[in-house]
């Protein structure tokens, strides 16, 4: 099989590695990729935003399925570009990708489809939004409607913090077009759970549920990040709860989108909150999460290339399952000094040649090569996934390997999965 993966982060490295394990003889290309993907795959010097160039490559190389990793190309309409040329692509159309690219669209669809979520109001004017938040009790959730690189959601602990967030979005134009429509939500207490579905637009097949840690510092303190680590499986992500999420969340959304004329095909991420009132949706994404992909994919027993290619061809995956998941996986993300604030780039790195093993996977996220040497190029630099018979064993392997990643300013959390491990230890 000939496969093209679009993207350059840890998620795309994890996808490439998974597909290589599934099909050792496949021809796998990654555009533009990173130093880590140029191993399980072959890097192609094409930007993820070069939709025409990607389509040309897929046509010239007889690509059987193109897998889109990040959200932006989907929001930009890469599916339509490929469809117009008869090229199979795994990922939702531009209109379907609004499930992530427009929180206003997503919240209204959830309300219309009867999917449980936080109560919300929508604003485009600061004055009206300010009047509203001054009359409700914090915490208050303020979200830019559009794509904001994971930085457009604020959990305000006070009314003043909520007003500041609203001012940045609606007055100061901090997020540009993405912040010109704002969703103000009620705060939902509880534990978050990430559930990914592979869907053909009608059938939604769940992968192993996972949980990530977004806070920068130990004990889940400090600013939110794109993710400091993740683990799977999750004790409260039971088979019964996942089935409930499929029945009450994924299925109604898929029916609603199909009825509106934009069937959803690809990966569907449901970010769930396990509240005292039951399961509610925090948000949807139209792709695999990162770093969650770095623990979910190593635990996915079934091969993904064939069902993804079938979906890309418009076929059904009825009867397909993700296979039996055994053991546990935990990823520790090694970040640049200063992250999520300003941080240096181009810092030389040292990765021991024996770092990767059967039970340790290294995923590049923010790395590059300069004059033949590996250097940092982003805030989240690498993810180090440990595998084990249980989460404690996986955590030990992940943390020991993360400590061997060397570059000036390297930092990581040593407590990813702490609550789960403490609970299981009794």
pLDDT for 377 equals 97
* Per-residue pLDDT, 42: 98
**What average pLDDT score do residues 381-387 get?**
98
Q: Is residue 240 very low, low, confident or very high in pLDDT (cuts 50, 70, 90)?
A: very high
How much is the pLDDT for 308? 97
Dihedrals phi, psi of 136, to nearest 5 degrees: -125, 160
The two domains 119-186 and 328-425 share their CATH topology (first three levels equal): no
Percent of the chain with pLDDT over 70: 99
For residues 161-187, b (16+ Cβ closer than 10 Å) or e, as one string?
A: bbbebbebbbeeebbeebbebbbbbee
Count CA atoms closer than 13 A to 115's CA, side-chain side.
27
254 Cβ neighbours under 8 A, 6+ residues apart: 199, 201, 202, 204, 263, 264, 268
At residue 150 the predicted structure's pLDDT band, cuts being 50, 70 and 90, is: low
Mean pLDDT of 34-38: 97
Contact 81, 51 (CB under 8 A): yes
- pLDDT tens sequence across 219-239: 999 988 989 999 999 999 999
pLDDT digits (tens, 9 = 90+) for 89-116: 999 999 999 999 999 999 999 999 999 9
Quote the pTM value. 0.94
Output the pLDDT for position 152. Answer: 81
Q: What is the DSSP string of 353-418?
A: TT--BTTEEEEESSEEEETTEEEE-SSEEEEEEEEESSHHHHHHHHHHHHTT-B-TT-B--S-TTH
**What does the block give as tokens for 370?**
């300069």
CA pseudo-torsion sign 92, 365, 412, 396: positive
- Give the Cα separation of 22 and 27 in Å (integer): 12
Fold (topology level) of 2-94: Rossmann fold (3.40.50)
d(CA 380, CA 336): 6
Where in the chain are the domains? Answer: 2-94, 119-186, 191-312, 328-425
Percent of the residues in the chain that have a pLDDT greater than 90, as a whole number: 91
Indicate the average pLDDT of the chain.
Answer: 95
Comparing 41 with 175, which gets the higher pLDDT? 41
Contact 178, 152 (CB under 8 A): yes
Whole-angstrom distance, CA of residue 301 vs CA of residue 353: 27
The third-level CATH classification (topology) of the domain covering 328-425 is 3.90.600
Residue 366 near residue 336, CB atoms below 8 Å: yes
pLDDT of residue 426: 59
CA atoms of 235 and 157, how far apart (whole Å): 29
Q: Taking each helix axis from N to C terminus, what angle separates 418-425 and 391-402, rounded to the nearest 10 degrees? A: 140
Query: Is pLDDT at 183 greater than 90 in this prediction?
Result: yes
Res 254: pLDDT = 98
The answer to whether 322 and 205 are in contact (CB under 8 A) is yes
**CATH fold of the domain at 119-186:** Dna Ligase; domain 1 (3.30.1490)
Say whether 133 sits in a helix, a strand or coil.
Answer: helix
pLDDT band with cut points at 50, 70 and 90 for residue 267: very high
- 2: tokens are 């000939």
Does the structure show a pLDDT above 70 at 49?
Answer: yes
Could you read off the pLDDT of 164-178 as tens digits, one per residue? Answer: 999 999 999 888 888
Enter the tokens of residue 249: 């969340």
Cis peptide before 257 (omega within 30 of 0): no
Per-residue pLDDT tens digits for 349-365 = 999 999 999 999 999 99
pLDDT at 243: 96
Pick the CATH number of 191-312 from 3.40.50.2300, 3.40.50.1970, 3.40.1010.10, 3.30.470.20: 3.30.470.20
CA atoms within 13 A on the CB side of 399: 13
């Amino acid at each position: 099989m000939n496969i093209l993966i679009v993207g350059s982060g840890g998620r795309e490295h994890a996808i490439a590695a998974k597909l290589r394990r599934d099909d050792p003889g496949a021809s796998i290309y990654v555009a533009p990729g990173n130093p880590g993907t140029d191993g399980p795959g072959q890097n192609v010097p094409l930007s993820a935003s070069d939709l025409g160039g990607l389509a040309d490559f897929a046509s010239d190389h007889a690509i059987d399925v193109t897998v889109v990793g990040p959200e932006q190309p989907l929001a930009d309409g890469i599916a339509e570009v490929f469809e117009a040329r008869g090229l199979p692509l795994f990922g939702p159309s531009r209109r379907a990708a609004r499930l992530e690219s427009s929180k206003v669209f997503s919240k209204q669809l959830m309300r219309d489809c009867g999917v449980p979520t936080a109560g919300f109001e929508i604003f485009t004017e600061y004055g009206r939004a300010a009047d509203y938040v001054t009359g409700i009790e914090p915490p208050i959730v303020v979200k830019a409607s559009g794509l904001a690189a994971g930085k457009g959601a604020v959990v305000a602990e006070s009314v003043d913090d909520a007003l500041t967030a609203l001012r940045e979005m609606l007055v100061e134009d901090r997020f540009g077009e993405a912040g010109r429509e704002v969703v103000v939500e009620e705060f939902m207490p509880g534990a978050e759970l990430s559930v990914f579905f592979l869907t053909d637009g009608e059938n939604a097949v769940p992968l192993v549920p996972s949980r990530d840690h977004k806070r920068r510092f130990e004990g889940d303190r400090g600013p939110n990040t794109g993710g400091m680590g993740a683990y799977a499986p999750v004790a409260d992500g039971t088979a019964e709860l996942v089935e409930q999420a499929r029945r009450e969340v994924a299925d109604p959304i898929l029916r609603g989108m199909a009825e509106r004329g934009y069937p959803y095909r690809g990966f569907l991420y449901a970010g769930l909150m396990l509240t005292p009132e039951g399961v509610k949706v925090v948000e949807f994404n139209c792709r695999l999460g990162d770093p969650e992909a770095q623990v979910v994919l190593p635990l996915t027993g079934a091969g993904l290339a064939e069902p993804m290619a079938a979906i890309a061809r418009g076929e059904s995956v009825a009867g397909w399952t993700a296979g039996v998941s055994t053991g546990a996986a935990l990823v520790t993300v090694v970040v640049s000094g200063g992250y999520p604030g300003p941080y240096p780039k181009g810092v030389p790195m040292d990765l021991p040649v024996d770092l990767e093993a059967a039970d340790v996977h290294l995923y590049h996220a923010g790395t590059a090569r300069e004059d033949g040497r590996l250097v940092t190029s982003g805030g989240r630099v690498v993810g180090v996934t440990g595998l084990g018979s249980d989460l404690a064993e996986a955590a030990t392997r992940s943390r020991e390997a993360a400590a061997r990643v060397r570059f000036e300013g390297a930092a990581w959390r040593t407590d990813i999965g702490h609550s789960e491990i403490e609970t299981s230890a009794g």
